[in-house]
C-alpha cells in the first residue's frame, strides 16, 4: 500500500485536515448484530470495541459529545428495503431485538443518543447533522463498522457537509482484511484523515487542555 500512498500524494491526493475546537465522537453500528459472530452480519470486532471504549472513556472525561448509530428495521420494512436485497443477512436487525442494541462493552450512557438508520451513512435520512450542529461540534472522531460500508459512507457525507473527520484505524473494522485495508487507504486519500488511536485520544483531550484557567 505504501507505493499507492506515494503515488496518490504525488498526484495531490491525501491532504491533511485540521480538527476543530469542539470535536464529537460518532460510533457507527457497533451493535450486537455486528460485533457478535453468532448474528449473520456479525464478525469478531472485539479489538475494535476495546479501542473504541478507550476513545469513549477519554471523550466522556473531556465532556465531548458522543452519538451512536444502529441499523434497525421494522418488520414492515424487511420486504420493501432495497439494501436488504443486497444484504439479506441484515434482516436479523429487527427493531426490539437484542441484535440492534449497542454492544454492552461500550457502556453507553443514557444521555448518549442512539440514532437508528436504514442506510449506510449515519447522515442519510437521520438527524445526525442537526444533533452535531446543536452540540456545537465542528469535527468528528469516527469509530465503528464496517470500514468498507457504513464508515466509508459516513466519512463521505461528513466531507460533503464540510465536517473534518478523523478515523482511528484501531477503532474501525470489517468482515475481511482486504476491504478494510483498501477502504482505509481510500478514505484517507479522499474524505477523512485516518489516524492512530493515540492521536485520536490526544485530539479529544486537546479542547480541555487548551482551555485557559479561570476563563482567561
Q: Which residues are catalytic?
A: 150
Cβ count within 10 A of residue 104: 10
Using alpha carbons, select from 115, 130, 121 the residue that is nearest to residue 154.
Answer: 121
User: How far, in Å, CA of 112 to CA of 94, rounded?
Assistant: 21
Q: Which residues on neighbouring strands pair with residue 23, listed in sequence order?
A: 139
Contact 147, 183 (CB under 8 A): yes
Helices (H), the chain: 2-10, 32-35, 46-61, 82-86, 128-134, 152-160, 177-190, 197-209
Joined grid coordinates for residue 16: 491533511
Query: CA-based Rg of the chain, rounded to a whole angstrom?
Result: 17
Contact 72, 32 (CB under 8 A): no
Using alpha carbons, select from 19, 17, 14 the residue that is nearest to residue 4.
Answer: 14
Cβ count within 10 A of residue 53: 18
Amino acid at each position: 500500500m505504501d507505493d499507492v500512498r506515494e503515488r496518490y500524494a504525488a498526484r495531490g491526493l491525501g491532504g491533511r485536515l485540521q480538527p476543530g475546537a469542539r470535536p464529537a465522537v460518532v460510533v457507527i453500528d457497533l451493535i450486537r448484530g455486528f460485533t457478535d459472530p453468532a448474528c449473520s452480519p456479525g464478525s469478531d470486532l472485539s479489538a475494535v470495541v476495546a479501542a473504541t471504549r478507550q476513545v469513549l472513556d477519554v471523550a466522556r472525561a473531556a465532556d465531548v459529545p458522543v452519538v451512536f448509530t444502529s441499523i434497525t428495521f421494522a418488520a414492515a420494512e424487511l420486504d420493501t428495503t432495497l439494501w436488504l436485497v443486497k444484504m439479506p443477512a441484515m434482516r436479523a436487525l429487527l427493531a426490539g431485538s437484542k441484535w440492534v442494541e449497542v454492544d454492552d462493552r461500550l457502556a453507553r450512557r443514557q444521555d448518549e443518543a442512539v440514532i437508528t438508520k436504514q442506510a449506510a451513512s449515519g447522515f442519510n435520512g437521520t438527524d445526525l447533522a442537526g444533533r452535531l450542529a446543536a452540540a456545537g461540534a465542528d469535527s468528528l472522531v469516527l469509530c465503528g463498522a464496517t470500514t468498507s460500508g457504513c464508515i466509508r459512507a459516513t466519512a463521505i457525507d461528513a466531507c460533503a457537509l464540510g465536517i473534518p473527520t478523523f478515523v482511528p484505524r484501531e477503532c474501525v473494522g470489517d468482515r475481511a482484511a482486504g476491504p478494510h485495508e483498501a477502504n482505509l487507504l481510500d478514505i484517507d486519500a479522499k474524505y477523512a484523515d485516518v489516524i492512530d488511536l493515540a492521536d485520536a485520544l490526544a485530539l479529544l483531550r486537546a479542547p480541555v487542555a487548551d482551555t485557559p484557567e479561570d476563563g482567561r
